[in-house]
Structure 1
Amino acid sequence: MSAGEHNRNHIDETIKTQTLEKLVENFVNKGYPEFKPIQHTTQVVSGINHKYKIQVGKNAYIHCKIHENTKGELSVISVDEGKTLSDAL
């Protein structure tokens, strides 16, 4: 892999994280001091369901479910706050 591809992938992940952060913060109508996805699973349905465990502060985590439709559009299904690192996704 060339250095350019590596940088592009890093930028892609940054953009994905920023997009996810905006979606989630708009859904819950508040911001978080930190936003670091640490676990991600997918389920293929009519589109894709994405489940994320996200660190949003010191020892503070949320779980969120995002649906990606067949056109690639994203929508938040749920956000569960008050989670811990050891909580199952």
Structure 2
Amino acid sequence: MSCKGTMAGGASETKPATAEIQAIADQVKCQLEEKENKKYTMFKAVEYQSQVVAGTNYFIKVQVGNNDFVHLRVYESLPHENKPLALHSYQTNKTRHDKLEYF
């Protein structure tokens, strides 16, 4: 018997960002601004991957300038834990063509 689909714990394929993903990025924007000590006037999610763990990791590519992008790793805990979204890590100085990967 063969199993099809994504293995548990593996990241999904990269997909275009949705309104829900933009909302997740918006919720962690101030966390990133604090860590980087800068304000982003542009903050547009363009694509993402998700990974189901005990909760969900979102890997989101966000456009912050003409050809300036950041990659965010956002953790969403399980609903019953009632915790806010957390910016776990991020990568700056990315371009539109940089592949979104697990980090």
Report the counterpart of residue 52 of structure 1 in structure 2: 60
Post-superposition offset of 1:40: 1.4
Q: Any unmatched runs of 5+ in structure 2?
A: 1-18
Identical-residue share of aligned pairs (%): 30
Q: Which has the higher strand share?
A: 1
Q: Any unmatched runs of 5+ in structure 1?
A: 1-9
Q: Which has the higher helix share?
A: 1
Post-superposition offset of 1:68: 0.7
Deviations 1:31-72 (A, max 9, x none): 112110001111000100000000001110000100111135
| Residue 80 of structure 1 pairs with residue 88 of structure 2 | no
| Residue 37 of structure 1 pairs with residue 58 of structure 2 | no
Structure with higher RCO (Cα < 8 A, 6+ apart): 2
TM-score when scaled to structure 1? 0.74
Task: State the superposition RMSD in angstroms.
Answer: 2.1
Number of aligned residue pairs: give it.
Answer: 79
